[in-house]
């Protein structure tokens, strides 16, 4: 349901597994605004309103209270563009782009992976990878997915979407004959994004393989010290990469809006980096 599906969509085919699909809202939910939204025919680069497509319950990325780091970056973009910031809320799962950006309910997605075909992407504003998460006091010192110790440990990975698609680390573990426990990315009152990290802290699992922003944000808030080890910024033997560029996405026809946003991303790179650091989002530069 969450940002992980976007990461998977860039690299992993979707395999139906017969899982029951939670109901989706019938219509995108627009935040109440003091002024009328621009029409779908308006040029979004000149509308005076930055209309953002976002998930209402997806920390550390976004939420309806605008507490996520993507909310902060959206506010920065709106401020620098001189635009009013508005939101259309829709859970990030299959159909997110179709029901928001393509339906012209909004014009901008703050975080999309590089190579995500349905959108026109800006230059990336950060790059991250999956992380091995362990309790520091256990001193497991797992440095890679090829560590033989993993065969004797209980490992957790996220499963993505209503069809329980496997992300790159799950493919990598499977190729090595290592079993893992799946943690859903459909969040509700019972299942939360921090569950997979808390499972390590609470000794429910020994190791978790977690997408960098989730790993960094929730490890910092865990009840005990946790150790994070980055998976390599390379393509695994399975053919799937572990690391991804993250950019802002717009409709393919909105080249002027893309250019205006890229100008802000370039000028405010240090301020964006400070936001990422505040949320403990691990970010690095693509290797040359």
Does residue 287 form part of some domain?
A: no
Fill in the DSSP letter of residue 136.
G
Range of the domain at 113: 3-13+26-126+245-278
d(CA 103, CA 59): 25
Tell whether 9 and 139 lie within a shared domain. Answer: no
- Is the sign of the CA dihedral 227, 283, 163, 104 positive or negative? positive
In the structure encoding, which two tokens stand for residue 102, read together? 């393509």
Per-residue pLDDT band for 39 (boundaries 50, 70, 90) equals very low
In the structure encoding, which two tokens stand for residue 229, read together? 């080890």
Instruction: Mention every residue, 6+ apart, whose C-beta is less than 8 A from residue 243.
Output: 127, 128, 129, 130, 231, 232, 233, 234, 286
In the structure encoding, which two tokens stand for residue 119, read together? 């959108």
Tell whether 8 and 122 lie within a shared domain. Answer: yes
d(CA 4, CA 207): 19
pTM of the predicted structure, to 2 decimals: 0.86
CATH number of 204's domain: 3.40.190.10
Count: domains in the chain:
2
Tell whether 138 and 94 lie within a shared domain. Answer: no
Place of tokens 């563009």: 81
* pLDDT value at residue 30: 60
Tell whether 219 and 137 lie within a shared domain. Answer: yes
pLDDT, tens digit (0-9, with 9 covering 90-100), for 223-276: 999 999 999 999 999 999 999 999 999 999 999 999 999 999 999 999 999 999
Q: Supply angle C-alpha 140, 226, 127, rounded to 5.
A: 105
pLDDT, tens digit (0-9, with 9 covering 90-100), for 177-204: 999 999 987 778 888 999 999 999 999 9
Does residue 181 form part of some domain?
A: yes
Tell whether 113 and 60 lie within a shared domain. Answer: yes
d(CA 187, CA 279): 20
Tell whether 9 and 151 lie within a shared domain. Answer: no
In the structure encoding, which two tokens stand for residue 121, read together? 């992407």
């Amino acid at each position: 349901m969450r940002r992980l599906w976007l990461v998977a969509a860039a690299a992993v085919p979707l395999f139906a597994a017969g899982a029951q699909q939670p109901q989706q809202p019938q219509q995108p939910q627009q935040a109440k605004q003091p002024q009328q939204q621009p029409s779908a025919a308006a040029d979004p680069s000149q509308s005076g309103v930055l209309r953002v497509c976002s998930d209402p319950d997806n920390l550390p990325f976004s939420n309806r209270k605008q507490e996520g780091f993507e909310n902060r970056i959206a506010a920065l973009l709106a401020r620098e563009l001189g635009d009013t910031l508005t939101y259309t809320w829709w859970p990030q799962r299959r159909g997110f782009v179709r029901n928001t950006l393509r339906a012209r309910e909004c014009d901008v997605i703050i975080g999309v992976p590089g190579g995500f075909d349905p959108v026109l992407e800006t230059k990336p504003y950060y790059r991250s990878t999956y992380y091995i998460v362990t309790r520091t006091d256990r001193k497991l010192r797992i440095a890679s997915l090829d560590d033989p110790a993993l065969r004797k440990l209980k490992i957790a990975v996220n499963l993505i979407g209503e069809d329980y698609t496997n992300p790159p680390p799950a493919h990598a573990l499977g190729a090595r004959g290592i079993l893992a426990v799946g943690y859903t990315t459909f969040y509700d009152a019972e299942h939360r994004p921090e569950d997979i990290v808390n499972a390590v802290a609470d000794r429910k699992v020994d190791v978790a393989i977690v997408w960098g922003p989730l790993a960094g944000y929730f490890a910092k808030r865990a009840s005990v010290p946790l150790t994070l080890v980055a998976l390599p910024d390379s393509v695994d033997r399975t053919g799937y990469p572990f690391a991804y560029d993250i950019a802002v996405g717009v409709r393919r026809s909105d080249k002027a809006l893309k250019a205006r946003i890229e100008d802000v991303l370039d000028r405010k790179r240090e301020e964006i980096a400070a936001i990422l650091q505040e949320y403990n989002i691990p970010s690095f530069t693509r290797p040359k």
